[in-house]
Chain A
Amino acid sequence: MAEFRVTNEEAEWAAAETFRQAITRVPPDVLRSLELSAAEETELVARRCLHTMLENAREAQGSMVVCQDTGIPVFIIEAGPGVRFEPGLRSAFERGVERVSREMNLRRMAIHPLTRRERGDNTGRGVPIIHFRMLEGFPFVRITAVPKGAGSGSWGTVRFLQPLEGVGGVKRFVLESIAMAGPNPCPPTIIGIGIGGDLEEVALMATLASCRAVGSRHEEDDIAALEDEILGLVNELGIGPMGLGGKTTALAVHIEYAFTHKPWLPVALNIQCWPGRRAAALIFPDGRREIL
């Protein structure tokens, strides 16, 4: 089997282009969902909100930022075990982020948590945040940018429920958290829920769940049914677009789960704001590359 090697040039390209795409383009599944929701809304304020969002997405159309809070750069690298990366991979990602930040005059959002000082190029210690997932049999390398803004990001949360609270406890946790967030995460949102695992894994699962396409369902029927049920319950709250009332509080609810430790029922929430920011690049073993 020929060696599948990813160069730093390819990594830098992927980081830059996925970051650029994620902040300037609303994914087509999100646009479709917003259009369908606008047609369903009966309240004038709610319909107007959704139409404004759609108009903004058209206006941005890949060349202007959709939302000025372009957030902290976060990437997910997925690769099979046969892939090799070069030393200096993190620097390649930093260069990609820095280039787009400079070209588009982005606000420098990455800062030291205590001194509040910037490095000035939207990178810093541990930023970009990079998650690495090794997936057996994965035929290419997929790099996904999921930059996280403060509006929705501030409402991410993890809790260790008591096992006896069960699925009812999970539903309650989600509903209370969404009610508390109210207008802040710019509804209608895509709600990612992680269940099980441990502290880091449950949060990462919530993030991965929040980045799935609207309309995607979990491969297990029981979990898919729970996704549908929680979506219905959330929308019953009537928070609506921008928290001004309406039928569409969430566009989708996605769940990812993993087995967990016997005394635990960890649950995490990561909320995607309405622009549903994500963009992915594929790098193939033969050197081809593609932006999804």
Chain B
Amino acid sequence: MTGASVFVNAPLSESDARSLRAGDEVYLSGRVLAMCYPWQFMRMLDCRRKGRDLPVDVRGGVVYHCPASYVETEQGYRIVFAGATTSSKFNEWTPALIREIGIRGVIGKGGMDLRTLDAFRESGAVYFAVVGGCSALYTRGVASVIREIWPQPSKSDNVVELELNGFGPLLVAMDSHGKSLYEDVRRSTEHRLNDVLRKLTAINTSP
């Protein structure tokens, strides 16, 4: 990691994805799919498995774990705010999303599990971490709301295709080479917790 920022365009090729390393800071442009409910992932996988067309070309695509808020105006859709939700909720479906659908980027908050890291390594995909709670800043990077996919009675429940322009700063927190910054910290935290608890026990039991 040099500290310089990298500008990336979606959709990503395999070599695009593999050239990114954990610790890189990225600004992303291009089209992404905002998805944030299990049913959306399940439906997408179901379509693919039953040989049905997906409503959008997702090869090399990027999924953004985003409950987007937008309104419909005379001029089209307008984004109100975008920000990432906790990604671990979607651990169950993401390996298949990578392997079967061809997604090469996931934007989210808080990381994903080792099975997902495996899929990233196998297929060539990465996790772009947002800084949580920074909706105001990240909304600046959303150029437009292109369309709703599988529209539901409530706009809050829709898959939405977004056009991003210089969206960031994103951190490559899980790369396609088996490295996850979350896993590194988790292991280190486990050791430190044991150390701290051991010291506490020594204090408690000393005469």
Does residue A208 face the partner (Cβ distance < 8 Å to B)? no
Q: Which of A262-292 contact B (CB under 8 A)?
A: 273-275
Whether B196 pairs with A237 at a CB distance below 8 angstroms is yes
Q: Is B200 located at the chain interface by the 8 A CB criterion?
A: yes
Q: Is B44 an interface residue (CB 8 A)?
A: no
Q: Tell whether, in the assembled complex, residue A244 and residue B133 are in contact, meaning their CB atoms are under 8 Å apart.
A: no
> Hey, which chain B residues are within 8 Å of A73, CB to CB?
none
A64 touching B139 in the complex, CB below 8 Å, given contacts A179-B193, A233-B196? yes
A151 partner residues in chain B, CB cutoff 8 A: 85-86, 109-110, 132-133
Q: Are A275 and B136 in contact (CB under 8 A)?
A: no
In this assembly, does A8 line the interface, its C-beta being within 8 Å of a C-beta of chain B?
no
The reply to whether A68 and B132 contact each other, CB–CB distance below 8 Å, is: no
Please name the residue on chain A nearest to B132 by beta carbon: A186
Name the B residues within 8 Å of A194 (CB-CB): none
Interface stretch, picked from A10-18, A80-88, A91-99, A102-110, is A102-110
In this assembly, does B140 line the interface, its C-beta being within 8 Å of a C-beta of chain A?
Answer: yes
One of A55, A65, A184 near B135 (C-beta < 8 A): A65
Flag whether A56 is at the interface (Cβ < 8 A).
Answer: yes
- A48 adjacent to B25 (CB under 8 Å): yes
B111 within 8 A of A: yes
Whether, in the assembled complex, A242 has its beta carbon less than 8 Å from a beta carbon of chain B, the answer is: yes
Any A CB within 8 A of the CB of B69: yes
CB of A65 within 8 A of CB of B136, answer: yes
Question: Within B114-136, which residues are at the interface with A (CB < 8 Å)?
Answer: 129, 131-136
Is B56 close to A, CB under 8 A?
no
Contacts of A168 on B, CB cut-off 8 Å? 200-201, 203-204
Closest to B81 in A: A68
CA distance in complex: A59, B134 (Å): 9
B interface residues, Cβ below 8 angstroms from A: 1, 3, 23, 25, 67, 69, 71, 80-83, 85-86, 88, 109-111, 129, 131-140, 154, 156, 169, 171, 173, 181-182, 184-186, 188-190, 192-193, 195-197, 200-201, 203-204
Task: Give the chain A neighbours of B196 by CB distance below 8 A.
Answer: 175, 233, 236-237
A204 is an interface residue with CB less than 8 A from chain B: no
Residues of A within 8 A of B88 (CB): 184
A44 within 8 A of B: yes
Closest 10 A/B residue pairs (Cβ): A68-B83, A56-B134, A186-B132, A60-B136, A67-B133, A56-B137, A68-B135, A59-B136, A52-B131, A64-B136
Beta-carbon contacts under 8 Å, A42-56 to B: 44-45, 48-49, 52-53, 55-56
Contact of B133 among A182, A243, A274 (CB under 8 A): A274
Q: A175 and B197 in contact (CB under 8 A), knowing A56-B131, A245-B188?
A: yes
Known contacts A64-B139, A238-B188, A240-B185; 4 further A-B pairs (Cβ under 8 A): A107-B69, A168-B203, A175-B193, A238-B192
Binding site for B on A (CB under 8 A): 44-45, 48-49, 52-53, 55-56, 59-60, 64-69, 104-108, 118, 150-151, 166, 168, 171-172, 175-176, 179, 182-184, 186, 233, 236-245, 273-275
Docked-complex contact A244 and B171, CB < 8 angstroms: yes
Contacts of A49 in B (CB 8 A): 131
The interface residues of chain A lying within 8 Å CB-to-CB of B83 are 67-69
Contacts A172-B200, A236-B196, A243-B110 given; does A150 touch B185 at CB 8 Å: no
Q: Is the CB of A238 within 8 A of B189?
A: yes
A68 to chain B, nearest CB (A): 4
Q: Which residue of B lies closest to A244 (CB)?
A: B181
Which residues of A have CB within 8 Å of B182?
Answer: 182-183, 243-244
Report chain B residues within 8 Å CB of A106.
69
Q: Which residues of chain B have C-beta atoms less than 8 A from A240's C-beta?
A: 185
Q: Shortest CB–CB separation between residue B175 and chain A, in angstroms?
A: 14
A191 CA to B67 CA, complexed, in Å: 26
Q: Is the CB of A186 within 8 A of B1?
A: no
Complex-state Cα separation, A181 to B134, whole angstroms: 20
For the complex formed, measure the closest distance between the CB of B20 and the CB atoms of chain A, giving whole angstroms. Answer: 15
Distance A255 CA – B130 CA, assembled complex (angstroms): 31
Closest partner residue, chain B, to A187 (CB atom):
B132
B193 touches A176 (CB 8 A): yes
**A–B complex contacts, Cβ < 8 Å, 26 sampled:** A52-B137, A53-B133, A56-B134, A56-B138, A60-B136, A64-B81, A64-B139, A67-B83, A67-B134, A67-B135, A108-B154, A150-B85, A168-B203, A171-B200, A175-B193, A182-B110, A182-B182, A183-B109, A184-B86, A186-B109, A186-B132, A237-B196, A238-B185, A239-B189, A273-B133, A274-B133
A71 to chain B minimum Cβ distance, whole angstroms, is 11
A55: chain B residues within 8 A (beta carbon)? 134, 137
